[in-house]
Structure 1
Amino acid sequence: MYAQDAAGNKSAGTTVTVSDKTAPAAPKVNSVTDASTTVTGTTEAGAKVTVQSGSAILGTDTADSKGSFKVTIAKQKAGTKLTVYAQDVAGNKSAGTTVTVIDKTAPAIPKVNTISDATTYVTGTTEANAAVTIKRGSTTIGTGTADSKGNFKIKIAKQKAGTKLVVYAKDAAGNTSAGASVTVIDKTAPAAPTVYTFGDNQTTVTGKAEASAKVTIKSGKTVLGYGYASSKGTFSVKIKSKQKAATTLTAYATDKAGNTSTGRSFKVVDKTPPATPTAGTVTYKSTTVSGKAEKYATVYVYNGSHYVGKATVSSKGTYTVHMKKQKKGSTLKIYAKDKAGNKSGYRYVKVK
């Protein structure tokens, strides 16, 4: 810079340097997630870049000759607002660029309570307010939203025992958790077994129950025996000893999951025939035949195929059958039949 007067005389020159008073443009900042440990972007070449959270400085860096920067920071919580400034070598500071930390962290795997084949609600905990989806294979069987404390309760149709379900949680940012796999447990008791007729002359109880179930036979609280139903549900259980007619026994079925059916009560049927009756002497003049037989049984008398008479045995085991006189030399055939219909052997008596 020079000065020159009216006579044309020129002063010595004064040198002046132009000062930088122009602030850099606000930095361009790339996305920052809750997994980020660096903040990157571009600004004025050589500028100092500062990243702040509120008034706290998280990190600084100097932009390279092309204006690129990379500031190292600690991971920040999703939703945190960061401000990035650039300051040139002249000390001019840019306007701040604000970026919000993006949620890129998937929720933890949901914690799911036990699901049984009787369950109609799936419950558990996950990230607060997350959307919860329950799938069986590729089929969605229920959806819901966790409350502010992370609890969820989702209605589903009853599922078969052994079915595998997978439960997922998705947060508001769209991040989906890994699936929590749950196997539906068997809590349904088998139906009461079907028991076939069982006699006092038998030691094996047979019938049908749930396939592969354990079948237990009891007399009161005493276990008489147990066995296992076949794959077709048939069972054959050997018990300790023969049981008295009219005794009440109970059969139970227990499945592999430990669920026990209600009891099936059944009575021991009288299948034992009475002993062959005794009989006294009968002559051609006799009008009765007497002897001993099972109490309360009915004693029948035949002469050949001809019916002669019958009588009920007393409580003392004696009987008397009234009849017409029978022909001398003929043979009477005498037998007893109990109330269950069991028939004794024959007693043959020759008329004298």
Structure 2
Amino acid sequence: MNLKNKIILTTVLSGALIYSSENLYDASKAEAAVSTQIAVGNWSTQTVVPYPTVVGAITSNTTIINGRGIPGAVVYATPFFAHTSLSSAIVDPHGNFQLLIPKQQAHSQLDFKQVVNGVASSTISYKVGLGIGAVSKVDTVRVTDTKVTGKGVAGATVSIKSGHHWGIEIGTGVVDSHGNFHVTIPKQSAGIELYVSQIRNGDESSSVKSVVETSPILLAPTITTHYAGALSLHGSASEGSTKVILKINGINIRTVNVAADNSYQFDVTDIPALAVSGTVFEVIAQDASGQLSPATSSTVKEAPAPTVNDYTFGETHVTGTAALGMAKVSVYDKDGKWLRDGSIDADGKFNVLVSDLSAFKFIGDSFSVRVSTTTGATSKATEGTIKNDLLTAVAAPTIANFYLNDTIISGTVTDGAKKVFLKINNQVIREGKIASDGSYLIATDDLTALKLIGVSFEVVTQDENNRYSETARATVKAFPAPVVTTYRAGQAYINGTLVLPAEVTRISAYDKSGTLLRNGAVNENGTFRIYVSGVAALQIAGDSFTVKAFGKYNRISETTVTIQP
């Protein structure tokens, strides 16, 4: 046989490089030689065995390699530079073989040869190409679905197999230009495993597993804001829900059926925890098969108090704004007595007719407003005050000095004043009496708020039309103590001065045990003298005594003095 030394390089199959370096028989005689040897099966060491050929590309996804060889020959696949073959197969009578291999890394190399009667062919090498990747997304498949959808490589063919990767193919489809696929399949039973792969140019990707789910997932129910004091708890459940479960601290409290419109309602009048703001609770929906939805958690809230606009004497309505979800507004008098209800508009604004109510006839009186929900939750009260509708009718009254322990606030009012009121912290505390000469008195002996020096208060008057005067303001003062001149043992008089002599009605001296010794006299210039000649308690240097100044309304102040030698 005429042999020629040749090197053949050939590029085939998606860029895979096939190459060999070998002594081949002359091309003109190759076919006849091979045919003869195949026919007689008489291969020897003097005969050149051709290498096997691989059909199709080898990629990083390949696990089955098909090819052509000499019938009866054994074909071997070996990684480049490896000493042990990866796989082997016998060529069938028709010249076909199939090798099973584990997946190889992209850009690696596999060498192939075939052996006939102990005579080995030369080696042909194939580069392993980068295979197509797995589909990037498979959407949830449920028992009711007849399509599998997801994301893949545009133009690739998607294969759906049931049971396992090599299971029965139940559907195929092509990925569109946007990378989406929609593959029609028969309905599957719950728990069936579907394997989704994509194929391009005969190269099949690895599979993505999707387990068929029992039924559509129930969405979590919604909860209408629940306020402390509400009689019921409301919300809505998703389509397919048949029951809703109420839980507190992980404990099932109550279960109710879902209405035809998917709403639900719990009676909570006997659940104390839901009457307390801050309590955390949750609701869970359930379908007919017993499937549970995710839980929706919420917290019991305090019903928000309304905003009340300024109310001016003579206006017909009390107006304001309530939070969304509030259904009713109620007005109360200054003592908290309910007067009237009103409605709340969709935008939260409200107005309540009050012009016919006697509680709104006095400027300066207070009132309050509360709002409530349809479920019975009521907000805290927002306070309001009836204000003047005109400019001030009368001038402010005067306030005489008010000292600690005084039992009367006194002063004068201006012409036109018919009533006089004491206010503390902007609240009317009580009404006083106005004399015919324009003076007034307001009793304070039982008011503990005025028992501290520095506390402020106000006096205001009203005219015959109930219009308020300007406000007069004052504070509780300390009654000025007497200033005593140095006193020496045996001195005949105790002398001193008074800061406000006109306010003092009596000046007296007391011994160190608090026993009255003598009363003194106050002069017009504010000085005072107390005659104490011969008083035994004032004869010893180092002892002490007290001088007290008394005024009207139980006023009293004192100064303690040490007797000097």
Q: Which has the higher contact order (CA 8 A, sep 6+)?
A: 1
**TM norm structure 2:** 0.25
**TM norm structure 1:** 0.38
